[in-house]
Structure 1
């Protein structure tokens, strides 16, 4: 599993202009089953994505296709971790046997 932290490097007007394309990109990642959760950081300085069931290389390829990346709006920090426990109801986040 990966935690991706996005940090905006452009003003919010540029973020807002690219947001519909970014959301469409997110929708494709969810449809592929590789994104488990996403949302804005608070305060609104970027976002967070939980990704799973893919390699780091595949994740990097997908992030490169994000309109925020392509337009130079966000920078990405990726942390890989191996979840070993999850709260009740969140068990699907654990590795599949």
Structure 2
């Protein structure tokens, strides 16, 4: 598995984002259930968000997020940065080492 930081940047005013947050979070739950996501949350101040993700490939992760309501409604842009998590907390070892 490859590991990624996913950065979301809002393209529309926060008021418009807020109406789609429930659908966005429901969609993210699918990623949690599939083992793609470890954590997610909004930036402070609320200009977007960050997620820690994993997938077999960048293309697979991009395909998942292409169906996110923030993407399908053109509310946000997504940036994917692959990284190699060589050091981590022991409690998360299973998530990082699972193949």
For the criterion TM > 0.5, the same-fold answer is yes
Aligned equivalents of 2:83, 2:95: Cα separation in 1: 12
- Aligned residue pair count: 97
More helix, by proportion = 2
Alignment gaps of 5+ in structure 2: none
Q: Counterpart of 2:27 in 1: which secondary structure? A: helix
| Corresponding residue of 1:41 | 43
| Corresponding residue of 1:62 | 64
Alignment gaps of 5+ in structure 1: none
Aligned equivalents of 1:53, 1:71: Cα separation in 2: 24
| Corresponding residue of 1:13 | 15
More strand, by proportion = 2
TM norm structure 1 = 0.91
1:57 Cα offset (Å): 1.0
Given that 1:85 and 1:94 are in contact with CA atoms closer than 8 Å, whether structure 2 keeps it comes out as: no
Deviations 1:28-72 (CA, angstroms, capped at 9, x unpaired): 110111111101111110000111143111101011000001111
Query: Which consecutive aligned stretches of 4+ in structure 1 deviate over 6 angstroms post-superposition?
Result: none
Deviations 1:5-28 (CA, angstroms, capped at 9, x unpaired): 001010111101111110110011
Q: Counterpart of 2:89 in 1: which secondary structure? A: coil
Aligned equivalents of 2:78, 2:55: Cα separation in 1: 19
TM norm structure 2 = 0.90
| Corresponding residue of 1:23 | 25
